[in-house]
Structure 1
Amino acid sequence: MTTHSARSKKHNFTREIELDRITGLAAPKSVSVPLALLTRLLLDANETNRTWLQDFKDDVVRIDSDLYEVLLAYQSMQQA
């Protein structure tokens, strides 16, 4: 059973970590996600107009350079 004091300490610690991340004092978090999962979730969020998607619109995403080249070629073909 978690006591009120233990919950309060955990909450304060979590809040401090988040503040460090926001202010740039903490190392950025990253995870590896299969592209198929990511695209499925993002497409669904876009199609259903999820407002949270707008919160991340300016975030930078790291991808492999070969995927980037394919995306650029695809974009060029679409514009033609």
Structure 2
Amino acid sequence: MKSHPARIKKHSFVREMEMDRMAGTAQPKTVSIPLAQITRLLIDAAETNRTWLTDFADDCVKIDADLYEVLLAYQSLRHSSV
């Protein structure tokens, strides 16, 4: 079976990016996804004490400033109702 030239080129590019990441010379990989896409998975992982979740506990995540303000307000309301 013949390989498609674009696939070979893409595979080589991905391999080079991974080697750069391992060497510490590449930009960290990031993705942008809707919050709804990951919320259920994170809740389930937290409720079932998945070890992999603790592996990322110290990682920083970027969120929209509006969401951050809502989270702070929610946290304040929860603490004041306890």
Structure 2 residue aligned with 1:51: 51
User: Displacement of 1:47 after TM fit?
Assistant: 1.1
Q: What letter corresponds to residue 60 of structure 2 in structure 1?
A: V
For structure 2, the 5+ residue unaligned runs are 2-11
Structure 2 residue aligned with 1:7: none
Structure 1 residue aligned with 2:36: 36
In the alignment, structure 1 residue 74 sits paired with structure 2 residue 74: yes
Q: TM-score, normalised by structure 2?
A: 0.71
For structure 1, the 5+ residue unaligned runs are 2-9
Change (3 A) 1:78 1:27: same
User: Could you tell me how far apart the structure 2 residues matched to 1:26 and 1:52 are?
Assistant: 24
Structure 2 residue aligned with 1:6: none
Structure 1 residue aligned with 2:19: 16
User: Displacement of 1:17 after TM fit?
Assistant: 3.2
Structure 2 residue aligned with 1:60: 60
Runs of 4+ in 1 over 2 A off after TM superposition: 12-18
Change (3 A) 1:71 1:51: same
- Taking only the aligned residue pairs, the percentage that are identical comes to 59
User: Displacement of 1:18 after TM fit?
Assistant: 3.8
